[in-house]
Amino acid sequence: MKNLHRPFSLVISAIALTIGSCTIPEANPNAPTAQASASAIATNKERPPIGFKQVTVAKDLENPWGMAWLPDGAILITERIGRVKILRNGSLEQIAIAKIPKLFVSGQAGLMDISLHPRFAQNRLVYLTFSTGNFQSNHTSILRVKFDGKALVEPQVIFEVTPSKSGNQHFGSRIVWLPDNTMLIAIGDGGNPPLQLNGELMRKQAQKLNSQLGKVLRLKDDGSIPSDNPFVKTAGANPAIWSYGHRNIQGLFADPTSKQVWSTEHGSRGGDELNLIEAGKNYGWPVVTFSQEYTGGKISKEVSRLNMVDPKLVWTPAIAPSGLLLYRGNIFRDWQGNLFAGGLVSKSVVRIKIEGNKTIVQETIPVGQRVRDVRQGKDGFIYILTDEQAGQLIRLEPM
């Protein structure tokens, strides 16, 4: 199968010029070239279309991870330690949640994303991703609950990722919904070296079609597997797989207007990616990557290969992307159709403008805190969730 996704361009963030050098793997002749940006704040000379300010609407959240809007405008927010809070009319309160089975909280593990069923108004269903087990054996699971207006009740674990792994890294866990009411869930590769599974580096699971690690999975709303998934009829392949070759996706967005699915994916030392996700495609990790080992040296000599999808954008040094939004609101009209990617390490949100499949514009919005999630609210504003011991929910507003 021929690679259908040649990148628009690949950009090394100008933060590299101010933080320090971090070389990328040697490019092969077919690989896209990376170009340095001109400013440590913005990768283009375009001024913001309008002035905006950052307004803190909630604070003292303990390592918040995900958020979801109720029909009345209230916001459900997860905290990694295992709590769910609700922000309603400016007041932040903890809500009762049925016991999460064998919740594992350590490092990157814990309670993660939250998402409402597309027909929430009728069925009141809420979906949560969490890590279950212990340090020696754990995996990502999906918990389905009902919101009765005061508490999350009637818990049911509808899906558990296989195989289990060790350590406390790379759970992925973002959930998005497709127009047919099936869900996509991003699952990490399991962790960095020296972590192993079955006698080889854990990250090699991303290329194995019999493993759900390092994948995007597609499920029905009850956790069962759709019969039209791309690998259902492939011998030896796990039928839940939608795409593969991923390291650790923590930004995932399904755009109902374009029907496109975008992701942001953590690299290792540099090599973070923006990808356009399509069914059945191989996104290369760890066979092709711009990342380096944390200890130094190349993970792979290749940054591109036939039949593996190239990223649309690469960040080196890493921004550690988490949370992704394609803006369709009316508050910031000049930003309609732009992507907004949160950055944990960069402590910023990156606005990405794609024009006619050719031009990429980047603008960095400094936040000063680790950005875990970025969402558009029901009111059309952009909301930023920061992952700190005293995390905040920040709203971007026009000046």
Q: How far apart are CA 66 and CA 140, in angstroms?
A: 15
Q: How far apart are CA 238 and CA 234, in angstroms?
A: 8
Reduced to 3 states, what is the DSSP secondary structure of residue 50?
A: coil
Q: How far apart are CA 347 and CA 239, in angstroms?
A: 37
Residue 72 CB-density burial (10 A; 0-12 exposed, 13-18 middle, 19+ buried): exposed
Nearest residue to 3 (alpha-carbon basis) of 283, 300, 252: 283
Q: Determine which one of 117, 139, 170, 246 is catalytic.
A: 170
Extended strands (E) in 70-222: 75-79, 83-88, 91-97, 111-116, 125-133, 138-147, 151-160, 175-177, 183-187, 196-197, 200-201, 215-219
Q: How far apart are CA 359 and CA 283, in angstroms?
A: 22
Around Cβ 233, how many Cβ atoms within 10 Å? 10
In single-letter form, the type of residue at position 87 comes to L
Q: Respond yes or no: is residue 170 known to be catalytic.
A: yes
Reduced to 3 states, what is the DSSP secondary structure of residue 314?
A: strand
- What residues act catalytically? 170
